[in-house]
Amino acid sequence: MNNNQFVTELSDINTNFAQWYTDVILKTDMVDYGPVKGTMVIKPYGYAIWENIQAYLNDKFKKLGVQNAYFPMFIPESYLKKEAEHVEGFAPEVAVVTYAGGEELNEKLIIRPTSETIICDMYSKWIKSYRDLPVKMNQWCNVVRWEKTTRPFLRTSEFLWQEGHTVQSCPEDAETDTQVMLKVYSDCLKDLMAIPTLTGRKTEKEKFAGAVATYGMEAIMKDGKCLQAGTTHNLGQNFAKASNIKFLNKDGELEYGYSTSWGVSTRLIGALVMVHGDERGLRMPPNIAPIQAVIIPIASKVSGVIEKCNEVKTLLETANMRVKLDDSNNTPGWKFNEYEMKGVPLRIEIGPRDIEAGVATVVRRDTHEKSTLHLNNIANEVADMLAKIQANMLKQAQENLNNAIVETDDYNTMVEQVNNKKVALCYHCGDMTCEEEIKNNTTIKTRVIHSYDTTHKCIYCNKPSKYRVYFGKQY
């Protein structure tokens, strides 16, 4: 839905990051607000990013033996209550259907905030023997968590995600699933989205409601805040016991299964915006960009220009690149601005002088560098340049991540640094009450555990340390 107005300015990214974020996602047609408070419409330019994430993950899942399936959205209220910690964690934010088909329902239906309870219930019907294990299923679906404060992609009442659920016959294999999937996620962010992450186990206080252990993947935004970009949960036998998933093991004994769950959501799109964006708008890493290169004709009415643009488009598409030719009546200047704001990694300008010289003029979105490529080798040279852009954007993001981390043993320094857009790596005792006090005093939470270390002192209470952990502000 282009309209022919000249692009409006964005808010300043350095002084008003929150408003910059809202401006850029709305103005680039990634998203709009839905009519119900807290909901979003994911527009095609945003949804295409999600589809690229889906394609990447589906491929990885398949290679790991995970099969896609679909489970009902409606969960009987009684199911959610099966696992004590789980219901406590989710009850405050569920949406509830109380009547349907013109009648009040006998049992209220919860719209899934996550599907552990219903999937484990089905698994309990299907799993009888160790020969049925492992079970590895995934679903792509919508979930609902009624949030007070919402922002498109980052926190919305309804969002899209994938949730994988496995059952294994021993705790070790469940732990392996949990860690393998964390690696799949962090590879996805790194290789597809050029986003480096901090990965590790979450503290007891921050783990998923009902899990034995939760692992998290944290991406650091340009304002220094952390965004939990994905989690994997080792559920131990907790949900198996709640749902009665029992299998006959090799010794002929009935045993509860060992389950895991893991998910990433459309908030990854928000991470993409906030890790790579700059004062001019979005910057899309080529591997995930809905449009990898935009071709803009210069002096398009001169004979041969549009033809050459179309020829280049076909060559790039044949080489599996995602290309757009903008042959609209807007001026080249308008188009430069538009696709810069949309973050298209490479702009290809083709005019009469370029054609005469046998070249195309290209401008990189990541460095703003202008150069020329040979028309007679254009597909190869564009592919090379996209690979360079991808690598450079990962390098830039890695530098930002490295620069964001400070190591300190002093509590006041930690608080000061985190309030100053940093992530602090500190020793902590692992005590939930201690962690809670820090949070209550500062709104600062632990992100993921860096490493286990009992030779130091807790940054807050001075008791012996249990681990080093990242502290940060969060989205």
**By rule CB under 8 A, what count of residues binds its own copies?**
64
Q: Which is nearer to its own copies, 127 or 373 (CB)?
A: 127
Q: Which amino acid is at 102?
A: G
320 binds its own copies (CB under 8 A): no
Q: Which is nearer to its own copies, 153 or 208 (CB)?
A: 153
Instruction: Specify the stretch interacting with its own copies by CB under 8 A; choose among 138-146, 215-223, 234-242, 306-314.
Output: 138-146
Q: Binders of its own copies among 56-75, rule CB under 8 A?
A: 67-75
Q: What are phi and psi of 250, to 5 degrees?
A: -65, -20
Q: Which is nearer to its own copies, 1 or 356 (CB)?
A: 1
Which one of residues 6, 9, 128, 454 is an interface residue with its own copies (CB under 8 A)? 128
388 binds its own copies (CB under 8 A): no
Question: Closest separation between CB of residue 96 and its own copies, Å?
Answer: 5
Q: Binders of its own copies among 2-41, rule CB under 8 A?
A: 2-4, 32, 34-36, 39-41
Whole-angstrom distance, CA of residue 35 vs CA of residue 101: 24
| Most distant pair of Cα atoms in the chain: their distance | 81
Binding mask 94-113 for its own copies (x = CB under 8 A): xxxxxxxxx------x-x--
88 binds its own copies (CB under 8 A): no
Which one of residues 20, 61, 79, 262 is an interface residue with its own copies (CB under 8 A)? 79
Q: Binders of its own copies among 143-162, rule CB under 8 A?
A: 144, 146-148, 157-158, 160
322 binds its own copies (CB under 8 A): no
Token pair listed for 144: 């609902």
Question: Closest separation between CB of residue 191 and its own copies, Å?
Answer: 23
The b/e string for 298-327 (b: 16+ C-beta within 10 A; e otherwise) is: bebeeeebeebbeebbebbeeeebebbbbb
Nearest C-alpha neighbor of 215 from the set 206, 198, 202: 202
- In DSSP terms, 423 is beta-bridged to 405
Question: Closest separation between CB of residue 257 and its own copies, Å?
Answer: 13
Q: Which is nearer to its own copies, 167 or 385 (CB)?
A: 167
Whole-angstrom distance, CA of residue 305 vs CA of residue 440: 63
Nearest C-alpha neighbor of 274 from the set 307, 229, 232: 229
Question: Closest separation between CB of residue 37 and its own copies, Å?
Answer: 10
Q: Which is nearer to its own copies, 127 or 449 (CB)?
A: 127
Question: Closest separation between CB of residue 469 and its own copies, Å?
Answer: 31
Q: Which long-range contacts (CB under 8 A, 24 or more apart) does 19-27 make?
A: 20/277, 21/151, 21/270, 21/273, 21/274, 21/277, 22/151, 22/152, 24/273, 24/277, 24/281, 24/282, 24/341, 25/152, 25/153, 25/270, 25/273, 27/281, 27/341
Distance of CA 59 to the CA centre of its chain: 17
| H or E stretch covering 231 | strand 226-236
Q: Which is nearer to its own copies, 101 or 252 (CB)?
A: 101
- In DSSP terms, 217 is beta-bridged to 199, 230
Token pair listed for 247: 């299998």
Q: Which is nearer to its own copies, 121 or 218 (CB)?
A: 121
Whole-angstrom distance, CA of residue 361 vs CA of residue 341: 19
The Cβ-side half-sphere exposure at 391, using a 13 Å CA radius, reads 6
Q: Which is nearer to its own copies, 147 or 173 (CB)?
A: 147
- Residues of the shown chain interacting with its own copies in the complex, contacts defined by CB under 8 A: 1-4, 32, 34-36, 39-44, 47-48, 50-51, 67-76, 79, 91-102, 109, 111, 118, 121-122, 125-129, 131-132, 135, 137, 141-142, 144, 146-148, 157-158, 160
